[in-house]
């Protein structure tokens, strides 16, 4: 097959479009569960039609639930017109103690076979051991709700996250000496709602 034939519209595998704009159906972008949403299966539509539910949600309310393991208790509610979310992790203190034991062992020179490997091929040490609720609180307070799994893909955001952990949650730093070897200098992130030191015109 010649290049001209490969990229022609006659080839069913060609990744080219003709001069027509593709049709889009915005119904597929709705957050309701399932695919095509109509009046019979749209969750949002059903909630909006339920006037009793709408009126009850306007007042003060509270709902508590746990994750599947029963380890994290999440309370959502509305009080005095303000919506809130509270999270509690039942093994919080156990993580603190586990991290303290790890750091003590690391400082004594005990190797960690599951630790990351450095560029020179040697075993390093785990940097931190965060409970899920702490990771989520840092994400909400400093990074607009962006989760650690996304933050760690960006070098600058990752370094800023490490700075917050080192400054505000040192009990979860596993690295020997209690200071993380952050490879780049980054400014401390501003909390949501706080004014940053430097602001563009």
pLDDT tens per residue across span 10-42? 655 555 555 666 676 655 555 444 444 455 555
The percent helix, strand, coil of the chain (3-state, each to 5) is 35, 15, 50
Minimum mean pLDDT among 11-20, 64-73, 110-119, 185-194: which range? 11-20
Tell me what pLDDT residue 71 has: 92
Mean pLDDT of the residues in the chain: 79
Rounded-to-integer distance, Cα 160 and Cα 176, Å: 20
């Amino acid at each position: 097959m010649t290049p001209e034939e490969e990229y022609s519209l006659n080839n069913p595998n060609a990744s080219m479009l003709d001069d027509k704009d593709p049709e889009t159906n915005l119904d597929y972008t709705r957050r309701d569960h399932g695919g095509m949403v109509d009046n019979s299966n749209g969750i949002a539509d059903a909630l909006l039609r339920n006037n009793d539910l709408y009126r009850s949600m306007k007042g003060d309310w509270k709902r508590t639930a746990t994750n599947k393991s029963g380890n994290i208790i999440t309370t959502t509610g509305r009080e005095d017109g303000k919506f809130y979310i509270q999270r509690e992790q039942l093994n919080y203190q156990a993580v603190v103690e586990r991290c303290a034991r790890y750091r003590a062992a690391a400082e004594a020179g005990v190797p960690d076979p599951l630790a990351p490997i450095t560029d020179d091929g040697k075993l390093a040490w785990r940097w931190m051991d965060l409970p899920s609720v702490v990771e989520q609180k840092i994400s909400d307070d400093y990074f607009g709700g962006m989760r650690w799994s996304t933050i760690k893909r960006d070098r600058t955001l990752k370094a800023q996250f490490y700075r917050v952990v080192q400054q505000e949650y040192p009990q979860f730093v596993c690295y020997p000496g209690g200071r993380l070897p952050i490879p780049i200098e980054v400014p401390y992130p501003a909390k949501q709602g706080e004014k940053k030191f430097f602001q563009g015109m």
